[in-house]
Structure 1
């Protein structure tokens, strides 16, 4: 995991050499290699996540997701796909079109009360509506595609084994950073693990967001990112959180003030895999070199000004919804060990949350089902 950098550079999109490159096929040899013991590691992680949720339940008297528990804002917008060259006209991007989307900004750890002034990775989850194509079995009854982003390009929980080891350390020593760091410094991936505490704490609306893990992209393998592209968003990049003067909810406050007066726009870019040694799929702890493997724009996301912190939206999402990259198109299949872990851990986390809160999970099929105000009713 590297610290955030200025996200406002343009992608080298549409040049002839990008069209003619030899991209790795998603089902080619060596793309996925399941290591021994992975199933046991994944089951252990699911239990650990439930343990974290139980601890937060005891503290807050309400159960949240095991990660990304703190909602910073929720907004509705539109995804716009234009004409693309053949290597980018993949999956749901094969034809021009427009799709309603809802986006949730969050902070990564599992504590919903985590102070915004503490530097940590930020997240962005996106649900796309009315998507056509063959879906995975669990999500085949609702035509939505779930997408996840994080503000760091590499994932510290890089595979199932690493995830089990790191979460175990966080549970044991998370309340004592000095002792936690002593254990992290004994690891070979020390810099990766400590980088989450060194991220640049800036306005979320100016922050570039990454998939971190690899996904099928139609015929190919890719990672993806969201790039803030309006001039107003870009100017906010220099605005950092001041722990001495800002309140503990500054990120939510900044988002709400931004969307009260401004539209937002993102470029959705994909980075295609060409070399499995240099662009590992199974190990998500390495960012793919964007100089060698450029980001290429496939769509725009446009978000009109609105209230980004409507209580009914927040409650509906947290109590009844979940985002899961295994809910969606087979042509956007999650790849690699970190994503195989999510296939087990996410449902386990959701089931525990619903049970403890006495709230049913709701699989919505229309953006209109997400409240724009008032009270959460009829669920």
Structure 2
């Protein structure tokens, strides 16, 4: 298998992103992706019939929106990859905290994966067509290191089960327990329900890193954030919006800091790319820091900012640098599904997509134009 000799923690052999074995598109994947897009639209319509507002098909519940910066230092050659990390610098960022499940009204007291979306501004480089006129890089995170929607085929199967049995948890679990990946499928309901500022966030899927392949993670690094990990949600005493309340209280008094880290792919059996349901072993393939994220004190739930993001913004990992290309089946699925989701959302809400080119376009207060 083609490799590149490089120097990380030790001398290591990293796999090239374009090696033949990295991506293997299975037959009928496009049909699976279209089936998932149709089911996502069905889920959106179901919630629209209740709320009379169209939300995104995933991560519809906004927990908070903040602004800050991504800070890149002087990195060794094997980490100084993509236009984001190739040289020291700072980039303005906007980040949205969310809950993954498709229900926009889900109770914060129910354990579920939590998401974080980051839009990085002033990024220069060769972009994919959908973002070629906009100097931004979209980056997605999730609070679980592996995703149960591990490829397009699995995603289609799971969404079929959820649509049919989503209202009957006993029958839903019966269907999931009949699967070989039952532990992975049920893990989303067993996550630790704690303060959003204490949660480590993961890419779950793999990405090109110029010559290499990486996943990435955002690690809370301030002592204040680390201590909050012990603060778990208690359904008996907390409200159904406790996570947003905790986030707002935190940012009213504290800055937040994160380390942006990557492990680099060396072994496709241990670190599969096409299947996103397996966590890469951090003991064998260490996380290496490529940047720091700093979020200053601020109001994390400005109504105008929330409305603007939910009504006009699309966060999509295919909106960005070719040198940071999303890899594998789940990311290929996202390319089609996200477009279908946002097209229906904008149509039903009578809104248009706004491709922001400056962080100043994201409101800090005041009114939002339709």
Aligned equivalent of 1:207: 199
The equivalent position to 1:282 in structure 2, one of 242, 260, 274, is: 274
Separation of aligned partners in 2, 1:94 and 1:28: 22
Separation of aligned partners in 1, 2:254 and 2:55: 30
RMSD: 1.0
Q: What are the superposed Cα offsets for residues 129-160 of structure 1, whole Å, 9 maximum, x if unpaired?
A: 01011000110010000000000000100000
Q: CA deviation at 1:184?
A: 0.3
Q: Does 1:362 align with 2:354?
A: yes
Q: Does 1:329 align with 2:321?
A: yes
Q: Does 1:249 align with 2:241?
A: yes
The equivalent position to 1:295 in structure 2, one of 287, 292, 295, is: 287
Aligned equivalent of 2:28: 37
Q: CA deviation at 1:17?
A: 5.3
Separation of aligned partners in 1, 2:260 and 2:33: 30
Separation of aligned partners in 1, 2:259 and 2:298: 20
Q: Does 1:49 align with 2:40?
A: yes
Separation of aligned partners in 2, 1:295 and 1:188: 29
Q: Where does the alignment leave 5 or more consecutive residues of structure 1 unmatched? A: 1-14
After TM superposition, the score normalised by the length of structure 2 is 0.97
Aligned equivalent of 1:12: none
CA contact (8 A) 1:134 1:330 kept: yes
Q: CA deviation at 1:322?
A: 1.1
Separation of aligned partners in 2, 1:17 and 1:180: 45
Distance 1:271 1:66, change over 3 A: same
Aligned equivalent of 2:144: 152
The equivalent position to 1:78 in structure 2, one of 53, 66, 69, is: 69
Instruction: Specify the SS of the correspondent of 1:41.
Output: helix
Alignment map for 1:172-191 (pairs within 5 Å): 172-191=164-183
CA contact (8 A) 1:103 1:127 kept: yes
Aligned equivalent of 1:90: 81
Aligned equivalent of 2:113: 121
Q: CA deviation at 1:20?
A: 2.3
Separation of aligned partners in 2, 1:166 and 1:258: 36
Q: What are the superposed Cα offsets for residues 207-262 of structure 1, whole Å, 9 maximum, x if unpaired?
A: 00000000001110000000000010001000000001000000000000000000
CA contact (8 A) 2:210 2:323 kept: yes
Q: CA deviation at 1:18?
A: 2.6
Q: CA deviation at 1:176?
A: 1.1
Instruction: Specify the SS of the correspondent of 1:34.
Output: coil
CA contact (8 A) 2:41 2:344 kept: yes
